Amino acid sequence: MAVAVLMAALWFAALAPTSTLAQTTSTPANLSANPSPATPQAFGLEVRSSNEGIRDFLTQHLNLQRYRSLSDLDEMELARLLRDADVQARELLGTLGFFKPTLSWSQDKSGKNASIGNLGLVLVDVDPGPAARVSELQWQWLGDVADDTEARAQLKAIEQQWALPVGATFSQDAWSQAKNQALRQLLAERYPWGRILHSLALVDEPNNQVRLWLTLESGPAVRLGALQISGAEKYKVTQVERLALLPVGQVYRQNDLLEAQQRLVSSGFYDSVFVSLDAEGSPAQAPVKIELKESLRQKWVLGLGVRSDSGARVSAEHTHHSVPGLRWRSVSKLSVDKDLQSLSLDLLAPPDSSLWRLNTSVQFEQEKRGDFQVNSQRWRAGRIQLGERIDRSYFAQYDAARQQGDGQGALESVSGNLAGTWRNFDSLPFPSRGQGVGLELGAGVTLGPDREPYVRWRAKGLALLPLGRTSGRLAMRAELGSVISRDTSSLPTTQLFLTGGDNSVRGYAPNSIGVQQDDGLTVAGRYLALASLEWQQPIRWRSQRTDWESAVFVDAGAVANDTGQLQPQIGYGAGARWRSPVGPVRIDLAYAQALHQLRLHLSVGFTF
Residue 20 has pLDDT above 80, yes or no: no
Query: What is the C-alpha to C-alpha distance for residues 141 and 299, in angstroms, rounded to an integer?
Result: 53
CA distances from 61 to 32, 58, 89, 370, 448 (A): 13, 5, 9, 61, 78
Are 115 and 155 contained in the same domain?
A: no
Residue 11 has pLDDT above 50, yes or no: no
Closest by CA position to 443, among listed 451, 454, 432: 454
Of the pLDDT bands very low, low, confident and very high (cuts 50, 70, 90), residue 2 is very low
Q: 113-122, 206-215, 295-304, 472-481: which range is least confident on average?
A: 113-122
For residue 581, whether the previous peptide bond is cis, meaning omega lies within 30 degrees of 0, is no
Residue 95 lies in a domain: yes
Q: Which long-range contacts (C-beta less than 8 Å, at least 24 apart) are formed by 379-383?
A: 382/358, 382/417, 383/356, 383/357, 383/358, 383/359
pLDDT the model gives residue 438: 97
Report pLDDT digits (tens) over 454-466. 999 999 999 999 9
Check: CB of residue 408 under 8 Å from CB of residue 396. no
Residue 329 lies in a domain: no
Residue 184 lies in a domain: yes
Are 195 and 80 contained in the same domain?
A: no
Instruction: Out of 180, 200, 217, pick the residue that ends a domain.
Output: 217
What's the per-residue H, E or C state across 101-130? CEEEEEEECCCCCCCECCCCEEEEEEECCC
Report pLDDT digits (tens) over 536-567. 999 988 777 899 999 999 999 999 999 999 99
What secondary structure does DSSP assign to 410-421, as a single string? -EEEEEEEEEEE
Closest by CA position to 313, among listed 292, 337, 286, 331: 337
Residue 278 lies in a domain: yes
Residue 308 has pLDDT above 70, yes or no: no
pLDDT the model gives residue 314: 93
Report pLDDT digits (tens) over 488-538. 989 999 999 999 988 899 999 989 999 998 888 899 999 999 999 999 999
Report pLDDT digits (tens) over 265-277. 878 788 899 999 9
Are 425 and 451 contained in the same domain?
A: yes
Check: CB of residue 164 under 8 Å from CB of residue 12. no
Alpha helices for 314-422 (secondary structure H): none
Instruction: Out of 217, 242, 275, pick the residue that ends a domain.
Output: 217
Closest by CA position to 387, among listed 492, 481, 255, 504: 255
Report pLDDT digits (tens) over 94-146. 999 999 999 999 988 876 666 677 788 889 999 999 999 999 999 999 999 98
Query: What is the C-alpha to C-alpha distance for residues 260 and 273, in angstroms, rounded to an integer?
Result: 9
Residue 583 has pLDDT above 90, yes or no: no
pLDDT the model gives residue 84: 93
Are 116 and 188 contained in the same domain?
A: no
pLDDT the model gives residue 116: 73
Residues contacting residue 67 through CB under 8 Å, at least 6 positions apart: 31, 42, 73, 81
Report pLDDT digits (tens) over 216-251. 999 999 999 999 999 888 888 888 998 888 999 999
pLDDT the model gives residue 470: 73
The SS3 call for residue 195 is strand
Mean pLDDT of 302-329: 83
Are 112 and 138 contained in the same domain?
A: no
For residue 270, count other CB atoms closer than 10 A to its CB.
22
Are 174 and 97 contained in the same domain?
A: no
Residue 10 lies in a domain: no
Which residues form the domain of 161?
A: 133-217
pLDDT the model gives residue 313: 84
Residue 17 has pLDDT above 90, yes or no: no
Are 267 and 183 contained in the same domain?
A: no
Residue 37 has pLDDT above 80, yes or no: no
Are 88 and 159 contained in the same domain?
A: no
What CATH number does the domain containing 257 carry?
3.10.20.310
Query: What is the C-alpha to C-alpha distance for residues 41 and 36, in angstroms, rounded to an integer?
Result: 9
Query: What is the C-alpha to C-alpha distance for residues 550 and 427, in angstroms, rounded to an integer?
Result: 19
pLDDT the model gives residue 407: 65
Whole-prediction pTM:
0.65
Check: CB of residue 380 under 8 Å from CB of residue 395. yes
Are 476 and 548 contained in the same domain?
A: yes
For residues 147, 148, 154, 159, the Cα torsion angle rounded to the nearest 10 degrees is 0
Closest by CA position to 357, among listed 347, 370, 369: 347
Mean pLDDT of 444-455: 93
Are 244 and 270 contained in the same domain?
A: yes
Are 493 and 583 contained in the same domain?
A: yes
Check: CB of residue 89 under 8 Å from CB of residue 103. yes
What CATH number does the domain containing 581 carry?
2.40.160.50
Residue 520 lies in a domain: yes
Mean pLDDT of 163-176: 92
Report pLDDT digits (tens) over 404-428. 876 677 899 999 999 999 999 988 7
pLDDT the model gives residue 287: 93
Are 460 and 569 contained in the same domain?
A: yes
Closest by CA position to 244, among listed 283, 287, 211, 187: 287
pLDDT the model gives residue 3: 35
Q: Which long-range contacts (C-beta less than 8 Å, at least 24 apart) are formed by 431-439?
A: 431/464, 431/606, 432/464, 432/466, 432/473, 433/464, 433/465, 433/466, 433/473, 434/463, 434/464, 435/461, 435/462, 435/463, 435/464, 436/461, 436/462, 436/463, 436/608, 437/461, 438/608
For residue 74, count other CB atoms closer than 10 A to its CB.
11
Mean pLDDT of 2-8: 37
pLDDT the model gives residue 113: 66
Residue 309 lies in a domain: no
Residue 333 lies in a domain: no
Number of domains into which the chain is organized:
4
Instruction: Out of 276, 294, 312, pick the residue that ends a domain.
Output: 294
Q: 292-296, 457-461, 467-471, 538-542: which range is least confident on average?
A: 467-471
Average pLDDT, the chain: 87
Residue 444 has pLDDT above 90, yes or no: yes
Closest by CA position to 559, among listed 526, 591, 533, 532: 526
